[in-house]
Amino acid sequence: MKIRKNKIKQSFKDGKTTIGIWNGIPHGYAVEICAGAGFEWVLIDGEHSPYEFTTILQSIQSASSFDTEIVVRPAIGDRVMIKRLLDIGVQTLLVPMVESAEQAQYLVDSMRYPPHGNRGVGSGLARAAQWNRVENYLTQADDEMCLIVQIETVKGLKHIEEICQVEGVDGVFLGPADLAASMGYLGQSMHPDVISEVVRGISIARDSGKVPGVIAFDKEVAKTYKEAGARFIGVGIDLLMLAKATSTIVSEYQFLK
């Protein structure tokens, strides 16, 4: 059995722009619906949604029949948590609140086996290795891992150039919502000053050879970010889409009361 190739990492190498959707509904049905829509990737959000390891696993399995890559955002960039996610088959992580090169290096090391890192070896128990059925998994796994660090504070943006110098960081994702709060614009992710800083961060990542990413729900703002160099772009959140759609239906059918 051969190791599964990481299509996101390949798209990074090929210079392609991809779009994806945030998944916050912790159920395989939701992920299956999103994966079947045609997005290049679905991000399972373990930071702000009530996802647990078992539900993450179930959702990954639900998406396995589609040509859509799964990205997982863990609640925190913790070495033990990362090890468990990689072992159940996650190959691409988007880690929140990265603010220094030291933190980025810690994450790189956590995703690689020795001697290049310190990922714990447990392939006999790992779905990722198909319980040692994947030939040479231990020597090939590092090449298929993709690390995207999320910069979403003023402090993180201050150190973005050093973060981008860390070998093993594949992408740099700008988080407008938290960045806006950090800048004093809580709830104003589309404030001109915030957009300007996101564009600046995207440009720095691009010029440093890292793949820039961002989330944007407004088409014009998304276009601005794309023109600045963003190539990994989140364009929706399943929870918000469901909330908006259901509220709209209630409003439209008030005439029946």
In the set 48, 116, 159, 191, the catalytic residue is 48
185 in Cβ contact with 193 (< 8 Å)? yes
Q: Residue 48 catalytic?
A: yes
Cα separation of 29 and 69, whole Å? 16
Residues forming the active site: 48
